[in-house]
Amino acid sequence: MSEQTIGSLFSGYGGLDMPLAGSALWGCEIAPAPRRVLAARLPGTVIHKDGTDLPRLEHVDVITGGSPCQDLSVAGGRVGMVGDSRSGLWSYQAAAIAEGQPRWALWENVRGALSGKAFTAADRSSYGRGVGLMRGPGRRVAGLHRGGGGPAG
């Protein structure tokens, strides 16, 4: 069996990728210090800076990511995965998963993600019945089911 390939969004220092048996083809991290650590730990990996403006990504077997948690955490403001919230950046990971169709997707986040609210305008218009507000897990499943939820939703 050949080694699986990995792509990572919200990569941080590579903590989700390092335990996996495979080779990381691409990663994405906006913060300078984790980018330096990631580059040192995963030499030869293409590291993109901005997860909201990615080029067409090379197909991988696994997409990992730990999208921002500040708006889902019980220690944070509990804004949720709404609009332009930091935690709403999940939609870019969902879009990458929908477009790339990896065999596996691994998402890491805080416990508050299980109860955090989640809404985007696309949810209401896509379902047409005023679904509006849903909890975080429903947002992620609905986004993937509808083809990623995309950056707008």
In 3D, which of 153, 151, 147 has the Cα closest to residue 50? 151
Whether 28 is a known active-site residue: answer no
Burial 101-121, CB ≥16 within 10 A → b, else e: ebeebebebbebbeebbbbbe
State the catalytic residue, choosing from 69, 81, 89, 94: 69
Tokens of 147: 């083809």
What is the rounded distance in angstroms from the CA atom of residue 36 to the CA atom of residue 126?
Answer: 40
76/1 Cα distance (integer angstroms): 43
User: How would you classify the pairing of strands 134-135 and 117-119?
Assistant: antiparallel
Active site residues per annotation: 69
